[in-house]
Amino acid sequence: MKNADNVNYKSSLKLYKRAKKVITGGVSRNTIFRRPHPFYVAQAKGSYVTDIDGNTRIDFANNMASLIHGHSHPVIVDAVTEQMQNGTAYTLGSEVEVEFGELLVERNKEFEKIRFVNSGTEAVMSMIKAARAYTGRPKIAKAEGAYHGTYDFAEISQIAEPQNWGDINKPNSVPVTYGTPDSVKKDVIVFPYNDIERTINLLEANKNELACVLIDPVSHRVGMYPIEEKFLLAIYNWTRKNKVLLVFDEVVTYRVTYSGAQHLYPVKPDMTALGKIIGGGFPVGAIAGAAKIMSVFDPSRKVIKQPHSGTFSANPVTMIAGKTAMQLYNRQAVDKINKMAAIAKKQIQEAIQLAGVPVVITGAGSMFRLHFRHKQPRNYRETYQAPEERKVIVDLLDYLFLHENLILINTFACMFATTITQVEVDRLSQSLYNGFKKYKAEIHQFAK
Ligand code: PMP
């Protein structure tokens, strides 16, 4: 394992060797930076993370988009510390759970009822189960390549390779891992994002068995290209006509406006899955939506249509952290973070021009992603990175991490926190410029 020039990561390497003896892969997540091995953190504050070798980096990943106020925001830390004196988890409800529920329901009129869980994966899973319980039908439809967490049905077709894509008129339902049983495939319809005709044909062919259409309005893995309004409207109208539920995964995109990305469009989903930022830095998920659908979870009914539990669901520590974070994420804060991201995108655009590289930016609000190509990709197949392209991207990410001290998400995405200022934005655009210049020939070679 070669050490990159001038970068000290001896302590991380040592800890990695120790970790591998007890933790498969040395860390419990596959998606974090792990080249040449995972790095380990000593402390984090605001937009800065310091590893155990003393390297301090600007964090544009913010724990995969979940830390809307950066690390250890003092107001959240105080609120959580106070709560911890009064218990961290009860076998009973708590007032702070109700207060947090009220806060979120007030933010979105379409959230008539809400329930809390512990992760985005769990929220998407419970939402799909609620849709099945409500409609009495088994199938779901999801966009090709879209990531919705690790529930078997939601995972289908995620990171699919070209040899598995199948006919664009009827994309294959490919399980992402060997751990997913083949039996799951028949209940997941995969549609091409932003393609009205093909999608409606696929929905029509399955209409009597479909419980819901699952959509992430600015799907990260599909390319972070916002869903086109006419496409979403076509699906929405089709679901209304056919009594199929339209459910949104806003686990990532809720940050985009004060009331989520759904408020950018003239449609109202039946249910929404939330997560990430609403936990204020703690594990969280939530399902929110129409009262009549959410009633499938109601324990006071004679027959509960869909059981719903979770040992740590709505624990008061997460609830107080989430409530405090979302109070701080008021309309002014949303405006400010989106403006800061817009400035960053403009500066990066200038860096792209100045360096003379074929790079385009997609995204919405405080989240954006860079693609090494000439045209904005509108769907998963256009976004897909071939191994040669992936190699350049990985080299560039390594360069930014090890030599420019920036943390980006592996897909080359940035998820801003409210703690990011012009200082960090200037560093980002300057470092990207340096990287573009360094890898210019390679980027040109593989950009489509
Ligand atoms: N949906 C989307 C759109 C996501 O990006 C993620 C996580 N990256 C999830 C669901 C799953 O959330 P979690 O990791 O909290 O289970």
Q: Residue ranges of the domains in the chain?
A: 10-68+331-446, 74-328
CATH classification of 74-328, choosing from 3.40.640.10, 3.40.50.880, 3.10.450.50, 1.10.760.10? 3.40.640.10
Q: Name the residue of 276, 277, 411, 415 whose CB sits within 8 Å of the most ligand 1 atoms, as the mutation to test its pocket.
A: 276
Q: What six digits make up the tokens of 329? A: 């994420």
Of ligand 1's atoms, which has the minimum distance to the CA of residue 124? 10
Residue 116 CA, ligand 1 centroid: distance in Å:
15
Q: What six digits make up the tokens of 307? A: 């059981």
Average pLDDT over residues 289-299: 95
pLDDT at 211 over 90: yes
Residue 227 CA, ligand 1 centroid: distance in Å:
18
Q: What pLDDT digit, counting tens, does each position of 48-67 carry? A: 999 999 999 999 999 999 99
Q: What six digits make up the tokens of 345? A: 């995108």
pLDDT at 3 over 60: no
DSSP labels for 16-82? HHHHHTTSGGGSS-SSS--SSS---EEEEEBTEEEETTS-EEEESSHHHHT-TT-BS-HHHHHHHHH
Percent of the chain with pLDDT over 70: 99
Q: Which residues contact 227 (CB under 8 A, 6 or more apart)?
A: 193, 194, 215, 217, 218, 219, 265
225 forms bridges with which residues in the sheet?
Answer: none
Within a 13 Å sphere around the CA of 330, how many CA atoms are in the beta-carbon half?
A: 4
Residue 150 CA, ligand 1 centroid: distance in Å:
8
Average pLDDT over residues 323-340: 98
Q: Name the residue of 140, 224, 251, 318 whose CB sits within 8 Å of the most ligand 1 atoms, as the mutation to test its pocket.
A: 251
Strands (E) located in 336-445 = 360-364, 367-371, 406-407, 413-415
Residue 43 CA, ligand 1 centroid: distance in Å:
24
Residue 34 CA, ligand 1 centroid: distance in Å:
20
Within a 13 Å sphere around the CA of 361, how many CA atoms are in the beta-carbon half?
A: 23
What is the spatial order of strands in the sheet that 188-191 belongs to?
113-117, 285-289, 271-275, 245-249, 210-215, 139-143, 188-191
CATH classification of 10-68+331-446, choosing from 1.20.1740.10, 2.60.40.1180, 3.30.450.20, 3.90.1150.10? 3.90.1150.10
Confidence of residue 230 (pLDDT cuts 50, 70, 90): very high
Q: What pLDDT digit, counting tens, does each position of 391-440 carry? A: 999 999 999 999 999 999 999 999 999 999 999 999 999 999 999 999 99
Residue 250 CA, ligand 1 centroid: distance in Å:
9
Mean pLDDT for all residues in the chain:
95
Of ligand 1's atoms, which has the minimum distance to the CA of residue 284? 15
Pick the residue with more confidence: 116 or 388? 116
Q: What pLDDT is stored for residue 443 in this prediction? A: 94
Q: Which residues contact 36 (CB under 8 A, 6 or more apart)?
A: 1, 2
| Pocket-forming residues, ligand 1, beta carbon under 6 Å | 64, 119-121, 124, 147-149, 216, 220, 249, 251-252, 275
Q: What pLDDT is stored for residue 4 in this prediction? A: 54
| Closest protein CA for atom 13 of ligand 1 | 120
Helix (H, G, I), strand (E, B) or coil at 356: coil
Q: What pLDDT is stored for residue 302 in this prediction? A: 76
Of ligand 1's atoms, which has the minimum distance to the CA of residue 119? 15
Q: What pLDDT is stored for residue 388 in this prediction? A: 86
Q: What pLDDT digit, counting tens, does each position of 16-51 carry? A: 999 999 999 999 988 777 788 999 999 999 999 999
Q: What pLDDT is stored for residue 382 in this prediction? A: 96
Residue 47 CA, ligand 1 centroid: distance in Å:
22
Q: What pLDDT is stored for residue 1 in this prediction? A: 35
DSSP state letter for 282: S
How far is CA 444 from each of CA 178, 313, 361, 378, 388, rounded to the nearest angstrom?
Answer: 36, 49, 16, 21, 12
Q: At what angle are helices 331-355 and 422-438 packed, to 10 degrees?
A: 30
pLDDT at 378 over 70: yes
Between CA 382 and CA 391, with CA 388 as vertex, the angle to 5 degrees is 105
What is the spatial order of strands in the sheet that 413-415 belongs to?
360-364, 367-371, 413-415
Average pLDDT over residues 167-182: 91
Q: What pLDDT digit, counting tens, does each position of 123-143 carry? A: 999 999 999 999 999 999 999
Q: What pLDDT is stored for residue 128 in this prediction? A: 98
Q: Per the confidence metrics, is the pTM higher than 0.95? A: yes
Of ligand 1's atoms, which has the minimum distance to the CA of residue 283? 15
Q: What pLDDT is stored for residue 2 in this prediction? A: 42
